[in-house]
Amino acid sequence: MLNKDSILALINLLDDSDEEIVAHVQTKILSFGEEIIPFLETAWENQELSDIHQEKIEQITHEIQFSTIKAELISWKKTNDFNLIDAWISISKWQYPGINARILRTKIEEIRQKVWVEINDQQTAFEKVKILNKVFYQQFQFKGDNKNYHSPLNSYLNTVLETKHGNPLSLSILYSNVAQSLNIPIYGVNLPNHFILAYIDEHQINQLLRNNTNSGVFFYINAFSEGSILYESDIRKFLNDLKLSEEKEYFEPCSHTTIIQRIIINLISSYQSLGKAEKVKELLELKEIISA
């Protein structure tokens, strides 16, 4: 257990005039990991510090948090279940370190419960999607953000749940996560310039997800457009309009790794357009972890 007085005294040394002492103190503080963050926050909030001293505390705090996020994503890649929400929360913590993961999961569970009440095994795929759409878009009022489409706020789980606005990818992840938790086989499709969902034939789902067949998709769902139904012909037209070839991957579910990569790529694009070079640099590090 860390001693409060000793730790606060150590943090005070960050303002020392000797650069060697400061470097040693920084290394020592970083070695404590996340456990020291409450002490850093206390020092930052409760003491009259110089601007430089505050900046050093902020920098160290962020470095610790960033290292934790990288470790979480490395661990996520090693797991067998590849829970998308876990990885999405980690990425969201990069921008919002104070978010409460339990609260976010509770909000998602509220959506799930509303759908669960109305779902039964006798319903057709279309009937289940109709219920999902009613709950997702009418009761909870999620909506595609056409006005600020490229805003980074559309890529963080906490802000999407708060504003009820998102981009095609974020809305698709939420929609499919709720569906899959209720054994409704809806999975993401990594379409160029867009992201959609595929409703899979339950009898062919294992083969399709292992890339052994390409005939298991019943229909597609556009989560950005209030769950509208699409068919293979719509995908072909979309690709033709973009003058892109009809690659197999554009018609079938993608991996969870691909989805997390795309979240990060979307954020990189958002922050590049905003001129946030430091954020882009860190996001490229996160992308490298997922791509490795």
- Mean pLDDT per 10-residue interval, the chain, length 292 residues: 77 83 85 85 75 85 94 90 91 96 98 97 95 98 96 98 98 98 96 96 59 72 98 96 94 94 97 97 97 86
Q: Using the 3D structure, point to which of 32, 61, 78 is the last residue of a domain.
A: 78
Same domain? 74 vs 168: no
* Structural domain count, the chain: 2
Same domain? 61 vs 187: no
Same domain? 155 vs 17: no
How many angstroms separate the CA atoms of 90 and 37, rounded?
Answer: 17
Same domain? 145 vs 228: yes
Q: Which long-range contacts (CB under 8 A, 24 or more apart) does 282-285 make?
A: 282/66, 282/94, 283/94, 285/70
Q: Distance of alpha carbon 262 from its chain centroid, rounded?
A: 9
pTM value?
A: 0.89
pLDDT of residue 16: 77
Same domain? 116 vs 14: no
Same domain? 9 vs 131: no
pLDDT of residue 27: 87
Same domain? 73 vs 89: no
Q: CB of 174 within 8 A of CB of 132?
A: no
Q: Using the 3D structure, point to which of 48, 78, 108 is the last residue of a domain.
A: 78
Same domain? 275 vs 137: yes
Same domain? 229 vs 143: yes
Same domain? 271 vs 131: yes
pLDDT of residue 12: 82
Same domain? 93 vs 162: yes
pLDDT in tens, 179-205: 999 999 999 999 999 999 999 987 655
Q: Using the 3D structure, point to which of 23, 43, 78 is the last residue of a domain.
A: 78
Same domain? 100 vs 55: no
Give the residue numbers spanning the domain of 8.
4-78
pLDDT of residue 171: 98
pLDDT of residue 212: 47
